[in-house]
Amino acid sequence: MNEPNLEWEKLSFSYTKTDYNVRCTYKDGKWGPIEVSDSEYVPMHIAAACLHYGQESFEGLKAFRGKDGKVRVFRMEENAKRFIRSAEGISMQPMPVELFCEMVRKVVKLNERFIPPYGTGASLYIRPLEIGISAQVGVAPADEYMVIMLVTPVGPYFKNGFKPIKVCMSREYDRVAPKGTGSIKIGGNYAASLNAGQKAHELGYSVMLYLDPKEKEYLDECGAANFFGVKDNTYITPDSSTVLPSITNMSLCELAKDLGMKVERRQIPLSELETFEECSACGTAAVCSPIGRIDDLDNGKVYTYGEEGKAGEMTTKLYDALRGIQYGEVPDEHGWCEIIEFDEK
Ligand SMILES: *Cc1c(COP(=O)(O)O)cnc(C)c1O
Protein backbone atom coordinates (compact mmCIF):
# COMPACT_ATOMS: atom_id res chain seq x y z
CA MET A 1 0.00 0.00 0.00
CA ASN A 2 1.77 3.18 -1.05
CA GLU A 3 1.35 6.11 1.28
CA PRO A 4 -0.14 9.19 -0.35
CA ASN A 5 2.18 12.16 -0.35
CA LEU A 6 0.25 14.18 2.24
CA GLU A 7 1.23 16.15 5.30
CA TRP A 8 -1.50 14.81 7.58
CA GLU A 9 -1.04 17.34 10.36
CA LYS A 10 -1.35 20.22 7.92
CA LEU A 11 -4.53 19.10 6.18
CA SER A 12 -7.44 21.44 6.67
CA PHE A 13 -11.15 20.69 6.47
CA SER A 14 -11.18 20.64 2.70
CA TYR A 15 -11.35 18.20 -0.18
CA THR A 16 -8.40 15.99 -1.00
CA LYS A 17 -8.85 13.47 -3.81
CA THR A 18 -8.88 9.82 -2.75
CA ASP A 19 -8.95 6.61 -4.79
CA TYR A 20 -12.60 5.59 -4.84
CA ASN A 21 -16.16 6.52 -3.97
CA VAL A 22 -19.19 4.23 -3.74
CA ARG A 23 -22.64 4.74 -5.19
CA CYS A 24 -26.01 3.09 -5.03
CA THR A 25 -29.07 3.89 -7.12
CA TYR A 26 -32.74 3.51 -6.26
CA LYS A 27 -34.68 2.73 -9.42
CA ASP A 28 -37.87 0.82 -10.32
CA GLY A 29 -38.78 0.61 -6.66
CA LYS A 30 -35.55 -0.92 -5.34
CA TRP A 31 -31.95 -0.20 -4.36
CA GLY A 32 -29.37 -1.62 -6.75
CA PRO A 33 -25.91 -3.01 -5.95
CA ILE A 34 -23.15 -0.91 -4.35
CA GLU A 35 -20.99 0.35 -7.20
CA VAL A 36 -17.36 1.40 -6.89
CA SER A 37 -16.21 4.41 -8.88
CA ASP A 38 -12.86 6.13 -9.37
CA SER A 39 -14.50 9.13 -11.00
CA GLU A 40 -15.03 12.36 -9.10
CA TYR A 41 -18.00 13.25 -11.27
CA VAL A 42 -21.68 12.32 -11.47
CA PRO A 43 -23.28 12.16 -14.89
CA MET A 44 -26.75 13.57 -14.46
CA HIS A 45 -29.83 14.58 -16.41
CA ILE A 46 -30.12 18.35 -16.79
CA ALA A 47 -33.64 18.15 -15.35
CA ALA A 48 -32.64 16.08 -12.28
CA ALA A 49 -34.83 16.96 -9.28
CA CYS A 50 -31.84 17.74 -7.04
CA LEU A 51 -30.62 20.43 -9.44
CA HIS A 52 -33.91 22.27 -9.63
CA TYR A 53 -35.80 21.67 -6.42
CA GLY A 54 -33.03 20.89 -3.97
CA GLN A 55 -33.79 17.26 -3.24
CA GLU A 56 -30.47 16.64 -1.49
CA SER A 57 -29.47 15.47 1.97
CA PHE A 58 -26.12 14.54 3.43
CA GLU A 59 -24.28 13.13 6.41
CA GLY A 60 -20.85 13.57 7.96
CA LEU A 61 -18.93 11.04 10.04
CA LYS A 62 -15.36 9.97 10.58
CA ALA A 63 -13.02 6.98 10.65
CA PHE A 64 -10.03 7.14 12.98
CA ARG A 65 -6.83 5.15 13.07
CA GLY A 66 -6.37 4.24 16.71
CA LYS A 67 -3.50 3.84 19.09
CA ASP A 68 -3.70 0.06 18.49
CA GLY A 69 -3.58 0.52 14.70
CA LYS A 70 -7.24 -0.43 14.32
CA VAL A 71 -9.66 1.69 12.32
CA ARG A 72 -12.78 2.86 14.11
CA VAL A 73 -15.90 4.42 12.65
CA PHE A 74 -17.88 6.43 15.17
CA ARG A 75 -21.62 5.74 15.65
CA MET A 76 -22.48 5.16 12.00
CA GLU A 77 -25.90 3.63 12.80
CA GLU A 78 -26.90 7.01 14.22
CA ASN A 79 -25.88 8.69 10.97
CA ALA A 80 -27.80 6.03 9.04
CA LYS A 81 -30.94 6.71 11.08
CA ARG A 82 -30.61 10.46 10.65
CA PHE A 83 -30.07 9.96 6.91
CA ILE A 84 -33.46 8.21 6.84
CA ARG A 85 -35.14 11.09 8.69
CA SER A 86 -33.58 13.62 6.33
CA ALA A 87 -34.75 11.65 3.27
CA GLU A 88 -38.26 11.40 4.66
CA GLY A 89 -38.24 15.13 5.49
CA ILE A 90 -37.90 16.06 1.82
CA SER A 91 -39.87 13.16 0.32
CA MET A 92 -36.86 11.14 -0.85
CA GLN A 93 -36.49 7.37 -0.73
CA PRO A 94 -34.87 6.44 2.63
CA MET A 95 -31.87 4.09 2.50
CA PRO A 96 -32.01 1.11 4.89
CA VAL A 97 -29.59 1.33 7.84
CA GLU A 98 -27.73 -1.86 6.91
CA LEU A 99 -27.13 -0.75 3.32
CA PHE A 100 -25.84 2.60 4.56
CA CYS A 101 -23.42 0.87 6.95
CA GLU A 102 -22.25 -1.51 4.21
CA MET A 103 -21.44 1.46 1.98
CA VAL A 104 -19.50 3.14 4.79
CA ARG A 105 -17.43 -0.01 5.44
CA LYS A 106 -16.74 -0.41 1.75
CA VAL A 107 -15.66 3.16 1.05
CA VAL A 108 -13.37 3.19 4.10
CA LYS A 109 -11.72 -0.11 3.10
CA LEU A 110 -11.24 1.00 -0.49
CA ASN A 111 -9.42 4.12 0.66
CA GLU A 112 -7.35 2.55 3.43
CA ARG A 113 -4.19 4.40 2.41
CA PHE A 114 -5.93 7.72 3.07
CA ILE A 115 -6.76 6.96 6.70
CA PRO A 116 -4.34 9.23 8.56
CA PRO A 117 -1.84 7.61 10.95
CA TYR A 118 -2.49 7.70 14.70
CA GLY A 119 -0.94 10.67 16.44
CA THR A 120 -1.39 13.16 13.61
CA GLY A 121 -4.76 14.34 14.93
CA ALA A 122 -6.12 13.79 11.43
CA SER A 123 -8.98 11.47 10.43
CA LEU A 124 -10.87 10.23 7.41
CA TYR A 125 -14.04 12.25 6.88
CA ILE A 126 -16.89 10.28 5.30
CA ARG A 127 -19.51 12.22 3.38
CA PRO A 128 -22.67 10.35 2.31
CA LEU A 129 -25.19 12.24 0.24
CA GLU A 130 -28.50 11.46 -1.40
CA ILE A 131 -29.92 13.19 -4.48
CA GLY A 132 -33.11 12.94 -6.51
CA ILE A 133 -31.88 12.18 -10.03
CA SER A 134 -34.89 11.54 -12.24
CA ALA A 135 -35.77 14.16 -14.82
CA GLN A 136 -38.46 16.46 -13.55
CA VAL A 137 -39.86 19.81 -14.48
CA GLY A 138 -43.06 19.76 -12.45
CA VAL A 139 -42.59 20.11 -8.70
CA ALA A 140 -42.85 16.60 -7.27
CA PRO A 141 -40.52 14.13 -5.57
CA ALA A 142 -38.17 12.27 -7.93
CA ASP A 143 -38.70 8.56 -8.44
CA GLU A 144 -35.00 7.75 -8.82
CA TYR A 145 -32.35 8.48 -6.23
CA MET A 146 -28.62 8.10 -5.87
CA VAL A 147 -26.61 7.78 -2.67
CA ILE A 148 -22.92 8.59 -3.04
CA MET A 149 -20.29 8.23 -0.33
CA LEU A 150 -16.99 9.97 -0.74
CA VAL A 151 -14.15 10.19 1.76
CA THR A 152 -11.42 12.73 2.26
CA PRO A 153 -8.68 12.95 4.88
CA VAL A 154 -9.02 15.99 7.13
CA GLY A 155 -6.49 17.48 9.51
CA PRO A 156 -6.83 18.24 13.20
CA TYR A 157 -9.37 21.02 13.65
CA PHE A 158 -7.30 22.81 16.24
CA LYS A 159 -3.74 22.80 14.99
CA ASN A 160 -2.29 24.69 17.94
CA GLY A 161 -4.49 23.39 20.74
CA PHE A 162 -7.98 24.46 21.59
CA LYS A 163 -8.67 28.02 20.44
CA PRO A 164 -11.92 29.55 21.68
CA ILE A 165 -13.97 31.13 18.93
CA LYS A 166 -15.80 34.44 18.78
CA VAL A 167 -19.40 34.29 17.59
CA CYS A 168 -22.12 36.86 16.93
CA MET A 169 -25.89 37.01 17.21
CA SER A 170 -28.35 38.94 15.09
CA ARG A 171 -32.12 38.94 14.84
CA GLU A 172 -31.80 39.79 11.16
CA TYR A 173 -30.96 36.22 10.18
CA ASP A 174 -32.68 32.86 10.58
CA ARG A 175 -31.14 29.56 9.57
CA VAL A 176 -34.49 27.83 9.18
CA ALA A 177 -38.22 28.42 9.58
CA PRO A 178 -40.13 27.61 12.82
CA LYS A 179 -41.82 24.55 11.38
CA GLY A 180 -39.33 24.10 8.57
CA THR A 181 -36.45 21.75 7.91
CA GLY A 182 -34.08 22.66 10.73
CA SER A 183 -34.05 19.21 12.28
CA ILE A 184 -32.89 17.42 9.12
CA LYS A 185 -29.51 17.54 7.43
CA ILE A 186 -30.13 18.95 3.96
CA GLY A 187 -28.15 21.13 1.59
CA GLY A 188 -31.03 23.62 1.42
CA ASN A 189 -30.52 24.64 5.04
CA TYR A 190 -26.89 25.31 4.31
CA ALA A 191 -27.64 27.37 1.21
CA ALA A 192 -30.07 29.41 3.33
CA SER A 193 -27.40 30.07 5.95
CA LEU A 194 -24.57 31.17 3.66
CA ASN A 195 -25.40 34.88 3.77
CA ALA A 196 -25.51 34.88 7.57
CA GLY A 197 -22.20 33.01 7.68
CA GLN A 198 -20.63 35.49 5.25
CA LYS A 199 -21.89 38.38 7.34
CA ALA A 200 -20.38 36.88 10.48
CA HIS A 201 -17.04 36.36 8.72
CA GLU A 202 -16.99 39.89 7.34
CA LEU A 203 -17.39 41.21 10.86
CA GLY A 204 -14.58 39.01 12.18
CA TYR A 205 -16.62 36.21 13.81
CA SER A 206 -16.35 32.46 13.27
CA VAL A 207 -20.08 31.84 12.99
CA MET A 208 -23.55 33.20 13.66
CA LEU A 209 -25.25 31.94 16.81
CA TYR A 210 -28.91 31.64 15.85
CA LEU A 211 -31.86 32.42 18.06
CA ASP A 212 -35.02 30.35 17.71
CA PRO A 213 -36.73 31.57 14.53
CA LYS A 214 -40.17 32.03 16.10
CA GLU A 215 -39.70 34.04 19.28
CA LYS A 216 -36.01 35.02 19.01
CA GLU A 217 -35.93 34.41 22.71
CA TYR A 218 -34.04 31.12 23.02
CA LEU A 219 -30.67 29.83 21.85
CA ASP A 220 -30.84 27.56 18.85
CA GLU A 221 -28.03 26.41 16.58
CA CYS A 222 -24.45 27.73 16.54
CA GLY A 223 -23.59 28.04 12.85
CA ALA A 224 -23.86 24.48 11.57
CA ALA A 225 -23.13 23.02 15.00
CA ASN A 226 -25.07 22.47 18.21
CA PHE A 227 -24.61 24.68 21.26
CA PHE A 228 -24.04 23.75 24.88
CA GLY A 229 -23.39 25.73 28.01
CA VAL A 230 -21.94 24.59 31.33
CA LYS A 231 -22.75 25.89 34.81
CA ASP A 232 -23.01 24.41 38.32
CA ASN A 233 -21.65 21.07 37.08
CA THR A 234 -24.53 20.90 34.56
CA TYR A 235 -24.39 20.42 30.79
CA ILE A 236 -27.22 22.40 29.19
CA THR A 237 -28.17 22.18 25.52
CA PRO A 238 -31.18 23.59 23.64
CA ASP A 239 -34.27 21.45 23.22
CA SER A 240 -35.61 22.88 19.98
CA SER A 241 -37.44 21.49 16.97
CA THR A 242 -35.32 23.71 14.70
CA VAL A 243 -31.95 22.28 15.83
CA LEU A 244 -30.36 19.36 14.00
CA PRO A 245 -29.89 16.54 16.52
CA SER A 246 -26.09 16.30 16.63
CA ILE A 247 -24.60 12.88 17.29
CA THR A 248 -21.61 14.58 18.88
CA ASN A 249 -23.93 16.43 21.25
CA MET A 250 -25.84 13.23 22.05
CA SER A 251 -22.51 11.57 22.89
CA LEU A 252 -21.25 14.49 24.96
CA CYS A 253 -24.48 14.34 27.02
CA GLU A 254 -23.67 10.70 27.88
CA LEU A 255 -20.04 11.51 28.67
CA ALA A 256 -21.12 14.46 30.84
CA LYS A 257 -23.22 12.03 32.89
CA ASP A 258 -20.23 9.67 33.09
CA LEU A 259 -18.23 12.61 34.47
CA GLY A 260 -20.86 13.11 37.17
CA MET A 261 -22.47 16.15 35.59
CA LYS A 262 -26.19 16.79 35.35
CA VAL A 263 -27.58 17.06 31.84
CA GLU A 264 -30.43 19.35 30.86
CA ARG A 265 -32.05 19.46 27.44
CA ARG A 266 -34.40 22.42 27.52
CA GLN A 267 -35.08 25.84 26.13
CA ILE A 268 -32.25 28.23 26.97
CA PRO A 269 -33.48 31.83 27.24
CA LEU A 270 -31.08 34.43 25.97
CA SER A 271 -30.94 35.92 29.47
CA GLU A 272 -29.20 32.77 30.67
CA LEU A 273 -26.12 33.46 28.54
CA GLU A 274 -24.54 35.58 31.23
CA THR A 275 -24.86 32.81 33.79
CA PHE A 276 -22.80 30.19 31.93
CA GLU A 277 -19.30 29.33 33.05
CA GLU A 278 -18.42 27.78 29.69
CA CYS A 279 -20.02 27.76 26.26
CA SER A 280 -19.18 25.66 23.24
CA ALA A 281 -20.30 24.59 19.80
CA CYS A 282 -20.15 20.87 19.00
CA GLY A 283 -20.20 18.65 15.94
CA THR A 284 -18.25 15.99 14.06
CA ALA A 285 -15.73 18.41 12.53
CA ALA A 286 -14.23 19.75 15.76
CA VAL A 287 -15.99 17.73 18.51
CA CYS A 288 -16.04 20.92 20.64
CA SER A 289 -15.32 24.50 19.58
CA PRO A 290 -15.17 26.42 22.85
CA ILE A 291 -16.76 29.86 22.62
CA GLY A 292 -14.75 32.65 24.23
CA ARG A 293 -17.01 35.52 23.34
CA ILE A 294 -20.53 36.19 22.05
CA ASP A 295 -21.46 39.61 20.65
CA ASP A 296 -25.10 40.57 20.28
CA LEU A 297 -24.98 42.76 17.19
CA ASP A 298 -28.42 44.24 17.83
CA ASN A 299 -27.76 45.78 21.22
CA GLY A 300 -23.99 45.74 21.63
CA LYS A 301 -24.07 43.27 24.53
CA VAL A 302 -20.91 41.22 24.96
CA TYR A 303 -20.65 37.93 26.81
CA THR A 304 -17.24 36.47 27.61
CA TYR A 305 -16.24 33.05 28.91
CA GLY A 306 -13.13 31.81 30.63
CA GLU A 307 -9.61 33.04 30.34
CA GLU A 308 -8.59 34.67 27.08
CA GLY A 309 -7.50 32.01 24.58
CA LYS A 310 -8.22 29.09 26.90
CA ALA A 311 -10.94 26.44 26.78
CA GLY A 312 -12.99 25.76 29.90
CA GLU A 313 -12.23 22.84 32.18
CA MET A 314 -15.37 20.80 31.54
CA THR A 315 -15.34 21.42 27.79
CA THR A 316 -11.75 20.17 27.70
CA LYS A 317 -12.64 17.08 29.76
CA LEU A 318 -15.56 16.24 27.49
CA TYR A 319 -13.46 16.78 24.38
CA ASP A 320 -10.67 14.54 25.70
CA ALA A 321 -13.16 11.83 26.69
CA LEU A 322 -14.76 11.70 23.24
CA ARG A 323 -11.46 11.90 21.37
CA GLY A 324 -10.07 9.14 23.59
CA ILE A 325 -12.87 6.79 22.57
CA GLN A 326 -12.53 7.64 18.88
CA TYR A 327 -8.77 6.99 18.86
CA GLY A 328 -9.02 3.82 20.94
CA GLU A 329 -7.12 5.36 23.84
CA VAL A 330 -9.81 4.62 26.41
CA PRO A 331 -12.31 1.74 26.58
CA ASP A 332 -15.39 2.25 24.43
CA GLU A 333 -17.84 1.55 27.25
CA HIS A 334 -20.85 2.73 25.30
CA GLY A 335 -20.04 0.58 22.25
CA TRP A 336 -19.97 3.58 19.93
CA CYS A 337 -17.19 2.50 17.58
CA GLU A 338 -17.21 -0.16 14.92
CA ILE A 339 -13.80 -1.58 14.11
CA ILE A 340 -13.37 -2.02 10.38
CA GLU A 341 -11.94 -5.42 9.45
CA PHE A 342 -9.43 -5.25 6.62
CA ASP A 343 -8.60 -8.32 4.57
CA GLU A 344 -5.12 -9.76 5.02
CA LYS A 345 -2.80 -8.69 2.23
C1 LIG B 1 -24.28 18.07 11.01
C2 LIG B 1 -24.81 19.17 11.80
C3 LIG B 1 -24.55 19.31 13.18
C4 LIG B 1 -23.62 18.40 13.93
O5 LIG B 1 -24.02 17.06 13.95
P6 LIG B 1 -22.98 15.91 14.29
O7 LIG B 1 -23.75 14.68 14.12
O8 LIG B 1 -22.49 16.10 15.66
O9 LIG B 1 -21.86 16.06 13.29
C10 LIG B 1 -25.16 20.34 13.86
N11 LIG B 1 -25.96 21.22 13.23
C12 LIG B 1 -26.21 21.14 11.91
C13 LIG B 1 -27.09 22.15 11.27
C14 LIG B 1 -25.66 20.12 11.15
O15 LIG B 1 -25.92 20.07 9.85
Q: What is the pLDDT of residues 243-289, one digit of tens each?
A: 999 999 999 999 999 999 999 999 999 999 999 999 999 999 999 99
- pLDDT more than 90, % of the chain: 93
Q: Could you tell which of 246, 280, 322 is best to mutate to test the pocket of ligand 1, judged by most ligand atoms within 8 Å of the CB?
A: 246
Instruction: For residue 189, give the ligand 1 atom closest to its CA.
Output: 13
Model confidence pLDDT, tens digit, residues 9-66 = 899 899 999 999 999 999 999 999 999 999 999 999 999 999 999 999 999 999 999 9
Provide the pLDDT confidence category of residue 1 given band limits of 50, 70 and 90: confident
163 is catalytic: no
Residue 225 in contact with ligand 1 by CB distance below 6 A: yes
Above 70 in pLDDT, residue 158? yes
Question: For residue 134, which amino acid is it?
Answer: S
Cα-to-centroid distance, 283 and ligand 1 (Å): 5
DSSP secondary structure, 64-93, as one string: EE-TTS-EEEE-HHHHHHHHHHHHHHTTPP
Q: Looking at ligand 1, which residue's alpha carbon is closest to its atom 11?
A: 225
User: Ligand 1: which atom is nearest the Cα of residue 248?
Assistant: 8
- Indicate which residue's Cα is closest to atom 5 of ligand 1: 246
Q: Are 141 and 132 in contact (CB under 8 A)?
A: yes
CA–CA distance, 335 with 234 (Å, rounded to integer): 24
- What's the pLDDT at 161? 72
Average pLDDT over residues 72-101: 98
Select from 282, 283, 343, 316 the least CA-distant residue to 71.
343
Sign of the Cα torsion 311, 315, 320, 325 reads negative
Q: How far is the CA of 5 from the centre of ligand 1 (A)?
A: 31
Q: What CA–CA distance (Å, rounded) separates 125 from 154?
A: 6
Rg (CA), the chain: 20
Q: What is the pLDDT of residues 292-342, one digit of tens each?
A: 999 999 999 999 999 888 899 999 999 999 999 999 999 999 999 999 999
Q: What is residue 84's three-state secondary structure?
A: helix
**For residue 237, pLDDT beyond 90:** yes
Instruction: Give the model's confidence band at 345: pLDDT under 50 very low, under 70 low, under 90 confident, else very high.
Output: low
Mean pLDDT of 138-166: 91
Q: Is 167 in the pocket of ligand 1 (CB under 6 A)?
A: no
